[in-house]
Amino acid sequence: MMNIIDIFNRRNKTNNKIKLLDLLGFETDITIETSTYQQQESEITIEEEVTFETLVDVEAPQVKQQRFEATNDDFLFSDKLDTTPTDTFNPLNITQQIQKVWTDLETRRKWLIPTLMAAIFMTSTFLGINTYSNYQTEQVIIEEATNTITSNSNNLIELLPTLIEISTNTFYSKYDVSNASANLQQIESSLIEYRTNLSTRDDINFDEVNNNLNDVFQLVNELDLVISYRILNSEVLIYNELPTKEEDVDINAITLELSNIVATSKVNYDQLPDLEEFNNHKNLVNIAISTAEDLHGRYLGALRNNEYDVAASIATAIYLNKNTELDAFKKSLSDFNENALLIYDNFSDLP
């Protein structure tokens, strides 16, 4: 009868422990152990009932032994319950974890995909707007640069009539010719830049504009050649006053001077550029140098023979030879001036 009370007390103790774990938030999954324990209790109870109802007093020692063993087993089981870690009552079922993770993923999927799509759409829109904005900005910059280049080129082309007049003026000024040469180089640089920029434009007739540019380039190049021609020709047969009186004559000095004039004239003649309007003059320069070389010898001979009247006549012939060359040069300049202005009048403004 004492064992039954102990078992009842242990059952209450176990139930209280389960309630306590439940209050603490642990899962009370001890169904198997409790069932085993109940089976053990049932077996002990049956054995005890049989013992009390059927066994005689002679078997009392055996009954006591069974009671002792049952009591000892109950004590060990109770001790096991007391020493079992609380984690035993809260097992983490891997299936439940997977199910929970899957449920969380399904929950997140409802807002994750729309969020990703919205982010992708916003990113694509931003990139598209940014690209279009950069393209528009680049187009504005290109257009402004094109307008600037075109405006500068047209303004510089308008200087050509002035440069033509300077280049073909019979009055030679080193300062004016130098400035004209610098302006021509500036025009050429601007036209080269304009031609380079043509490859980026689709609003013009390329062939027509290119032909117009070729004409401008040709005129600029010819003007540059005229200026070079003028610079070289300015050193051809340039004389100081030739002495024709005895007191002014220094044969050695005059001989050296005339030799230098011929040498310089020959060098410059060899460097004269070829221009259609100046072909006649260039040929005449060659003849004039040969004639001057002959006249120089006669002039020096007359001075050595003290034939000063003859020397004076030869000196006049030398000047006449130079003037003949100079008149041909002026004629060439005039012809070039007329042709250049006609070419300029046919130019069109660069688009």
For residue 328, the one-letter residue type is A
The b/e string for 207-224 (b: 16+ C-beta within 10 A; e otherwise) is eebeebbeebeebbebbb
Arithmetic mean of pLDDT, 24-31 = 49
For residue 141, the one-letter residue type is I
Question: 284 near 324, Cβ under 8 Å?
Answer: yes
In the three-class reduction of DSSP (H, G, I as helix; E, B as strand; rest coil), residue 92 is classed as coil
Q: Which pLDDT score, from 0 to 100, does residue 225 have?
A: 93
- Decide which of 331 and 74 is more confident: 331
For residue 275, the one-letter residue type is L
For residue 165, the one-letter residue type is E
Q: Which pLDDT score, from 0 to 100, does residue 213 have?
A: 87
Return d(Cα 302, Cα 189) in angstroms, integer: 55
For residue 102, the one-letter residue type is W
Q: Which pLDDT score, from 0 to 100, does residue 299 have?
A: 93
- For residue 86, pLDDT beyond 60: no
- For residue 29, pLDDT beyond 60: no
Question: 45 near 4, Cβ under 8 Å?
Answer: yes
For residue 220, the one-letter residue type is V
In the three-class reduction of DSSP (H, G, I as helix; E, B as strand; rest coil), residue 270 is classed as helix
- For residue 235, pLDDT beyond 60: yes
Percent of the chain with pLDDT over 70: 64
End-to-end CA distance of the chain: 123
- The mean pLDDT value of the chain amounts to 75
Return d(Cα 319, Cα 316) in angstroms, integer: 5
- For residue 118, pLDDT beyond 90: no
Residue 332 confidence class, pLDDT cut points 50, 70, 90: very high
Domain ranges of the chain: 2-91, 95-145, 158-345
Using one digit for the tens of pLDDT, what is the confidence trace for 129-141?
877 777 667 666 7
- Decide which of 224 and 198 is more confident: 224
Percent of the chain with pLDDT over 90: 34
Question: 286 near 269, Cβ under 8 Å?
Answer: yes
Question: 274 near 300, Cβ under 8 Å?
Answer: no
Of the ranges 20-34, 38-52, 98-112, 207-221, the best mean pLDDT one: 207-221
Arithmetic mean of pLDDT, 40-63 = 45
Question: Cα–Cα distances in Å, from 25 out to 28, 31, 64?
Answer: 9, 17, 42
Q: Which pLDDT score, from 0 to 100, does residue 101 have?
A: 61
E-strand spans in 172-232?
A: none
- Decide which of 34 and 233 is more confident: 233
Using one digit for the tens of pLDDT, what is the confidence trace for 171-188?
878 888 888 888 999 998
Using one digit for the tens of pLDDT, what is the confidence trace for 140-179?
676 676 677 788 888 888 889 999 999 898 887 888 888 8
